[in-house]
């Protein structure tokens, strides 16, 4: 399955927004995930991503589905910087 982050907004900056997106994704998207199905995270269309939003959404996603999450490449400089920061953990 593919999660298009732009469906949560083009500017993804705050923790509460990230937390809300995570709850919604669990309820309406990830509930349909089949066992061993890969989850592709698509950053297309996202203009601004911060580590705060990413921590609430992507970190939780990766914790819950460790082996299944694939972060698709992005040219957006804030996506690259935010992922680099949260992946240092």
Partner 1 sequence: MRTETANKILTHIKEKDEISPHLLADYLEISHQAVHRQLKKLLSQNLIFKAGRPPKVTYSLKPMIIQNATIWASSNNAPHIPPNDIYCQTRDVFTGRADRLLADLQRHTQNDNLSFLLSSVVGEIGNNSFDHNLGNWRDIPGLYFTTDLSAHIMVLSDRGQGISATLKKIKPQIKDDEEALTTAFYEHLSGRAPEQRGNGLKFVKKIITENNWELEFRSGMALCVIKNNITNITKSNINIPGTLAIIKF
Rounded to whole angstroms, the Cα distance separating 50 from 68 reads 23
Range in contact with partner 1 (rule: CB under 8 A) among 27-35, 37-45, 70-78: 70-78
49 belongs to the binding site for partner 1 (CB under 8 A): yes
48 belongs to the binding site for partner 1 (CB under 8 A): yes
Q: Which two tokens stand for residue 24?
A: 């919604």
Cβ(71)–Cβ(80) below 8 Å? no
Torsion of CA 42, 43, 46, 49, to 10 degrees: 130
Identify the residue among 26, 42, 59, 68 touching partner 1 (CB under 8 A).
Answer: 59
6 belongs to the binding site for partner 1 (CB under 8 A): no
62 belongs to the binding site for partner 1 (CB under 8 A): no
């Amino acid at each position: 399955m593919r999660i298009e982050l732009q469906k949560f907004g083009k500017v993804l900056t705050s923790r509460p927004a990230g937390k809300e997106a995570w709850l919604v994704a669990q309820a309406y998207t990830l509930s349909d995930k089949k066992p061993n199905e890969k989850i592709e995270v698509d950053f297309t269309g996202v203009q601004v991503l911060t580590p705060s939003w990413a921590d609430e959404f992507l970190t939780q996603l990766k914790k819950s589905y460790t082996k299944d999450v694939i972060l698709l490449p992005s040219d957006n400089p804030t996506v690259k910087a935010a992922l680099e920061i949260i992946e240092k953990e």
